[in-house]
Amino acid sequence: MSKKLDAFLDENLSELKEQGLYNEIDPVEGPNGPIIKVAGKELINLSSNNYLGLATNEDLKQVAKDAIDHYGVGAGAVRTINGTLDLHVKLEEKLAEFKGTEAAISYQSGFNCNMAAISGVMDKNDAILSDQLNHASIIDGCRLSRAKIIAYKHSDMEDLRAKAKEATESGLYNKVMVITDGVFSMDGDIAKLPEIVEIAKEFDLITYVDDAHGSGVTGKGKGTVKHFGLEKEIDMQMGTLSKAVGVVGGYVAGKQNLIDWLKVRSRPFLFSTAVTPGDVAAITAALQMIIDSTELHDKLWDNGDYLKNGLKELGFDIGESETPITPCIIGEEKLTQQFSKRLFEEGVYAKSIVFPTVPKGTGRVRNMPTAAHSKEQLDEAIAIYEKVGKELGVIN
């Protein structure tokens, strides 16, 4: 083995641990529900993106089992050879219905999706206006496209407009895209889509919304674009199928010609084996549940407001979240990790989030109540937060 590699890894791992930036990964011993078991210990789970509790839904589990019995455990090929099952076609029709668009294309993951779709449309002769707090997968998708990346200040519409004007009037680029998360996952705030659309119309920008944390959560479950009634104004709606939908995968929804193009030009679609039959069947059924009823959505928001109010009353800094995502911003990285560790010891699973996921000095514990939590579980979690917060001097 390379001595240089060994030295590089040992030195940098030690440095991360010293700075409180090394993340320990905890295997979960069972389903990812409101209560999870880690290292033999039962904990109230506030770290899951299983927003609607669908990852453990009994009806969806049965749908997946039935699909496996009929189709097998794998699709067997990439989509363009013979890996497109009729299940995939039905899923993409359902996704288009869900997002209110002409068509949709599905991918193996949300990360894969941003890598595929951004680089499938943009190239080295183009520019992308990207919110400074966009998700890592957006950043990497932009880099892969080789387009000029122009970051604008987070949700700062004056800065976006100035940079859109400069980019389009420069004559340097064939196309200019503005790309943003719909819901920002670390702070829980919502993108200013109406203002973004106004600017996009003024300068003929391509609009791309990553709604990974909005689909199933905002717009009565239909997402952030639906929340603002902008289905006809956004060119590319991207989302994941692993959070509120509860399974795995990603998608882009938009006009038929966009989807036709991505099916012949987006590399992860062309060169990765299709999503498995059990997953596809469960996703399609989950989408139908979200379309048919807002019950889980409403329960999620009720629980989110309940936890948010409880932590705020105790004096925790929960930022400016506009969604059930509830950060407790601690600041210093080592203290943040210590806080998370003490929560674990007392019975709450809430992982610390530190650099590079968030900027240095803004470490936080990200709390995510779901539709599956009971008020009794949330009350117990709030009491533990009070105990640990006072013990470590985070609150008075």
pLDDT of amino acid 273: 94
Q: Which residues are designated catalytic?
A: 185, 213, 243
Q: CA–CA separation, 365 vs 288, rounded Å?
A: 33
> Sheet of 35-38: strands edge to edge?
35-38, 41-45, 348-349
The identity of residue 32, as a single letter, is N
Say which CATH topology domain 16-45+294-392 has: Aspartate Aminotransferase, domain 1 (3.90.1150)
Say which CATH topology domain 58-292 has: Aspartate Aminotransferase; domain 2 (3.40.640)
- Those residues with Cβ within 8 angstroms of residue 284's Cβ, 6 or more apart along the chain or in another chain: 87, 90, 91, 94
pLDDT of amino acid 187: 87
pLDDT of amino acid 355: 84
Using N-to-C axis directions, what is the helix angle for 277-292 and 295-314, rounded to 10°? 80
Query: Does the structure show a pLDDT above 90 at 358?
Result: no
Query: Does the structure show a pLDDT above 90 at 20?
Result: no
DSSP string, 252-290: EEE-HHHHHHHHHH-HHHHHSBPPPHHHHHHHHHHHHHH
pLDDT of amino acid 5: 96
pLDDT digits (tens, 9 = 90+) for 92-150: 999 999 999 999 999 999 999 999 999 999 999 999 999 999 999 999 999 999 999 99
pLDDT of amino acid 295: 97
Query: Does the structure show a pLDDT above 90 at 244?
Result: yes
In the chain the first and final C-alpha atoms are separated, in Å, by 52
Task: Assess contact for 47 and 272: CB atoms under 8 A.
Answer: no
361-364 LR contacts (CB < 8 Å, sep 24+): 361/331, 361/332, 361/333, 362/329, 362/331, 363/20, 363/329, 363/330, 363/331, 363/332, 363/333, 363/335, 363/336, 363/337, 364/186, 364/319, 364/327, 364/328, 364/329, 364/330, 364/336
Strand partners, 152: 131
Q: CA–CA separation, 357 vs 338, rounded Å?
A: 18
pLDDT of amino acid 357: 81
pLDDT of amino acid 203: 98
Query: Does the structure show a pLDDT above 90 at 19?
Result: no
Nearest partner of 209 among 183, 180, 252, 235, judged by Cα: 180
pLDDT digits (tens, 9 = 90+) for 186-210: 889 999 999 999 999 999 999 999 9
Q: CA–CA separation, 306 vs 314, rounded Å?
A: 13
pLDDT of amino acid 388: 96
pLDDT of amino acid 354: 87
Query: Does the structure show a pLDDT above 90 at 262?
Result: yes
Residue whose structure tokens are 């407009």: 161
Least confident among 14-28, 218-232, 283-297: 14-28
pLDDT of amino acid 80: 93
The ranges assigned to domains in the chain are 16-45+294-392, 58-292
